[in-house]
Amino acid sequence: MARSTLTASKKRLKNAVHRSGATSREGVLERLFTFAFKGLVYPQIWEDPDVDMKALRLTPESRMITIASGGCNVMSYLTANPAEITAVDLNRAHVALGRLKLAAAKHFPNYETFYRFFGEADEKANVAAYNRFLKQNLDAETVAYWEGRDLANWGRKRITLFSRDLYHHGLLGYFIGIGHLIARLYGIDPKYMVKTRSLEEQRTFFDTALAPLFDKRLVRWATSKKMSLYGLGIPPAQYDALVSANADGDMSAVLRQRLEKLACDFSMQDNYFAWQAFGRGYAPASGDSTGESGPLPPYLKRDHFENIRERAGRVRVLNRNFTEHLQSVADDTLDAYVLLDAQDWMTDHQLNAVWTEITRTARPGARVIFRTAAEPSLLPGRVSDQILDRWTYEEEESLELGRQDRSSIYGGFHLYVFNG
């Protein structure tokens, strides 16, 4: 990757996260987070695309912008047949992963190769498939990223992650792995959850085995440290928003509540997020290997493969921040906006800047969705009334969609519709 591109990527990330002086306690934590966030964070995005698509009501005329993250939802949105998707991200690893997925959809010979690469992501044949089908069809920056080496991979090329179980890597993969390790130290194996056969069994295992872990001194101490949640991609400012969900400021209680929803509110037969959290991979078809028979993100389902292949050319993935990109977009041209949880990171100035651009570029009826660590929408009182008065907050629909969100880690899901 060109030095200028890497420098620009680092600058965008710093601008998004750094709020405090470099020598202050908060400033040090912010800079540690940006250092960690420079690498791969989310091998799988942790927002439910089915809920997103219900909220967005995409049509063949829809033009949308989203934060890319791990790229899964960008690919899944193609199943709704929108006209155009622009995916932006501050993290160059996420940009490279998104571009890799698009190239794979276009150039892999069949669904089986695509599924082995991204569904199993744990075979040496994947590296050979990259060299044969993808390398020559990728831009130079993306090739440079995947063929680059770093300490996190013990000096191996990053593309080898797909031969060493991608989903055990990235900050999220390491975070889940550490969670499993701590549970095993107390004699609990979280993988037992994937063996349950009913919601009742899931509830019993959570109540008797997982919930008590959050009362352990080590867990309470660790979760009280802001750095402990860097693996979830949560910077210091968002940690504060998340812990506010508990009246006593007890992060272990907040995490227990969020894990309870993941473990108990949805059947394991229908929740691939729970399979990733408890089983550390997608559901097996048989034996110990993953397989397409279990719950999967829409983009990994066989029935959607040909449509995604046909529509992949409608997506572009850019290393930019949301506001920066919208400043280059014409007035009244977009129909859907997906902010993930990025606004939890933002200052009031940044919130007003992004909503000014959203409002300028939105067509009447445009829909904006985002998630928050705490339950309430964070916009009232922070974004100017002059802007918010042009939008309708769909409170009841937001609450219902939040209940349906299988990813389960957020306090709130929010839908705004543009009045024009």
Angle between helices 251-264 and 236-243 (to 10 degrees): 80
Terminal-to-terminal C-alpha distance of the chain: 41
What are the pLDDT digits (tens) for 62-102?
999 999 999 999 999 999 999 999 999 999 999 999 999 99
pLDDT of 19 higher than 70: no
Q: What pLDDT band is residue 349 in, cutting at 50, 70 and 90? A: very high
pLDDT of 9 higher than 50: yes
The per-residue pLDDT for 150 is: 84
Do residues 156 and 149 lie in contact, with contact meaning Cβ atoms separated by under 8 Å? Answer: yes
pTM: 0.90
The per-residue pLDDT for 32 is: 53
DSSP 8-state class, residue 157: B
Inter-CA distances, 30 with 44, 240, 241, 350, 410, Å: 24, 13, 15, 17, 21
Give the percent of the chain with pLDDT over 70.
88
Q: What pLDDT band is residue 319 in, cutting at 50, 70 and 90? A: very high
Q: To the nearest whole number, what is the mean pLDDT of the chain?
A: 90
Q: What pLDDT band is residue 288 in, cutting at 50, 70 and 90? A: very low
Joined together, the tokens standing for residue 399 give: 């609450």
pLDDT of 243 higher than 90: no
Is pLDDT larger for residue 21 or for residue 175?
175
What are the pLDDT digits (tens) for 185-225?
999 999 999 999 999 999 999 999 999 999 999 999 999 98
Among 62, 21, 8, which Cα is nearest to 315's?
Answer: 62
Do residues 232 and 172 lie in contact, with contact meaning Cβ atoms separated by under 8 Å? Answer: yes
Angle 24-90-258 (CA atoms, 0-180°, nearest 5)?
75
Residue 218 burial by CB count (10 A; 0-12/13-18/19+): exposed, middle or buried?
Answer: exposed
Inter-CA distances, 113 with 59, 99, 129, 139, 286, Å: 29, 17, 8, 21, 19
Residue-wise DSSP of 291-346: -TTS---GGGSGGGHHHHHHHGGGEEEESS-HHHHHTTSPTT-EEEEE-TTGGGG-
Task: For residue 321, give every residue at least 6 positions away whose Cβ sits within 8 Å of its Cβ, in sequence order, or none.
Answer: 12, 15, 16, 88, 90
Half-sphere exposure of 325 (CA within 13 A, CB side): 20
Do residues 338 and 67 lie in contact, with contact meaning Cβ atoms separated by under 8 Å? Answer: yes
The per-residue pLDDT for 79 is: 98
Element (H, E) at 88: strand 84-88
User: Across-strand partners of 367?
Assistant: 336, 417
Cα–Cα distance for residue pair 150/83, rounded to 1 Å:
37
Q: What is the mean pLDDT of residues 351-378?
A: 96
Number of H helices, E strands in the chain: 19, 9
The per-residue pLDDT for 239 is: 81
Inter-CA distances, 393 with 153, 232, 414, Å: 44, 28, 8
Do residues 87 and 66 lie in contact, with contact meaning Cβ atoms separated by under 8 Å? Answer: yes
Neighbour tally for 181: CB within 10 Å: 9
Q: What pLDDT band is residue 241 in, cutting at 50, 70 and 90? A: confident
Cα–Cα distance for residue pair 194/281, rounded to 1 Å:
10
Phi then psi dihedrals of residue 150, to 5 deg:
-150, 170
